[in-house]
Amino acid sequence: MAKSNLNRLEYFVAIAEAGTITAAADRMRVSKAVVSKQLQLLEEELGATLVVRNSRHLNLTETGQTFYAAAQASVAQAEEAYAMVRRGSTEPSGTLRITAPLDLGADYVAPVAAEFRRMYPAVTLELTLSDVRIDPVEARFDIAYRVGWLTDSANIARKLGEFRQIVVASEKVVEEFGKPKTPNDLANIPFIEHQALSTPLRWRFLGHSGDKIDVEMTRALSADVTPAIKAMTLDGAGISILPDFYVRKELADKSLIQLVPDWTLPSGGIFSVFPPTQYRSSATQQFSKLFAEYMRKEPAQAQK
């Protein structure tokens, strides 16, 4: 790639990340006219419109959004190459942006992030935890960890393990409503709903003999994040369905009890998801490796 083209990619990445021509110019320490001209030349070279803008707003086109992922990776690769030469090593550096759901993120990703930072102090980590699924390309994350089931996408996914969904309750709830013998009995107990799920009240249970029972839960409370659901379950507000890795400690100390253990719910996967680019920074590669090793060693994760 010619130097001029690489420079134009850098201008385009600055525009996409800064949000306006003016902000990109300030970031690049050049005039607005230079930034606009470089964008114009890049669009002419590509024969495609990358940015739609007026006097107040700027948005990437669908083509621009796709091109941004590749352009950002190319610019990052070039910057890392320069940095490696200056450092005389291949030690990870720069900013690493990661997103994960709250349960996996707080208990598993965050400890690895702390360890990774101690190992590679030249890396700045930005960890965003949310039960809302965020597209790593659109939100510009280097790694997105997922718990559950993946939908078809152009992103690159790697399965790290599996988990089981289990019905849990506090001793207080069991004493009040009795221990259910079959999944049908669960409908008579207050249920804490997870709003992020597509069908949070309808569940299909599978027995050892292949029997299937569909249950419509009775909603008592709902929340959009898993930690809140676990907290309410521990306080005796009702029963809930949570991933086994997230209640391992509570099951061990008997603060939560698994209900209908002879019946199973669909199991899910734990995945790492990356933007669809061939290049991944050294920090991305090393963090992915460290987290995968952590998951293999963690007994709770090994069961997922």
pLDDT tens for each residue of 170-188: 999 999 999 999 999 999 9
Last residue of a domain, one of 32, 62, 86: 86
Sheet strands side by side (includes 143-148): 123-129, 94-100, 143-148, 268-274, 156-163
Whole-angstrom Cα Rg for the chain: 24
Contact by Cβ (8 Å): 238, 191: yes
Structural domain contains residue 131: yes
Same domain, 174 and 142: no
Structural domain contains residue 160: no
Alpha helical stretches, state H, 120-258: 171-177, 226-234, 248-252
Structural domain contains residue 20: yes
Same domain, 38 and 121: no
Output the DSSP codes for 72-111.
HHHHHHHHHHHHHHHHTS----EEEEEEE-HHHIIIIIHH
Enumerate residues 6+ apart whose C-beta is below 8 A from 31. 25
Shortest CA distance to 89 belongs to which of 80, 97, 98, 101? 80
Q: Report the number of distinct structural domains present in the chain.
A: 3
Same domain, 40 and 129: no
Q: CATH number of the domain that 192 lies in?
A: 3.40.190.290
Same domain, 170 and 243: yes
Same domain, 146 and 287: yes
Structural domain contains residue 75: yes
Where is 9: in which H helix or E strand?
A: helix 3-18
**Whole-number pLDDT of residue 222:** 95
3-state secondary structure of 294: helix
Contact by Cβ (8 Å): 162, 233: no
Q: CATH number of the domain that 135 lies in?
A: 3.40.190.10
- Rounded to the nearest 10 degrees, the angle between the axes of helix 110-119 and helix 282-297 is 130
How many CB atoms within 10 Å of residue 154?
10
**Whole-number pLDDT of residue 303:** 40
Structural domain contains residue 106: yes
Same domain, 108 and 137: yes
User: pTM value?
Assistant: 0.67
3-state secondary structure of 184: helix
Check whether 155 has a pLDDT greater than 80: yes
Same domain, 61 and 7: yes
How many Cα neighbours within 13 Å face the side chain of 109?
A: 26
In this prediction, residues 135-161 reach a mean pLDDT of 85
Last residue of a domain, one of 40, 69, 86: 86
Same domain, 147 and 277: yes
Same domain, 169 and 262: yes
Last residue of a domain, one of 52, 86, 120: 86
Structural domain contains residue 159: no
Structural domain contains residue 207: yes
Under the banding of pLDDT at 50, 70 and 90, the label for residue 59 is confident
3-state secondary structure of 148: strand
pLDDT tens for each residue of 196-239: 888 999 999 999 888 999 999 999 999 989 999 999 999 999 99
Tokens read off for 133: 């699924």
pLDDT tens for each residue of 99-116: 999 989 999 999 999 999
**Whole-number pLDDT of residue 302:** 36
Q: CATH number of the domain that 22 lies in?
A: 1.10.10.10
Domain of 122? 94-154+273-302
3-state secondary structure of 61: coil
Same domain, 44 and 121: no
Phi then psi for residue 151, to 5 deg, are: -90, 160
Same domain, 262 and 179: yes
Same domain, 139 and 288: yes
CA distance 146 to 115: 21
Where is 44: in which H helix or E strand?
A: helix 32-46
Which residues are bridge partners to 163 per DSSP?
268
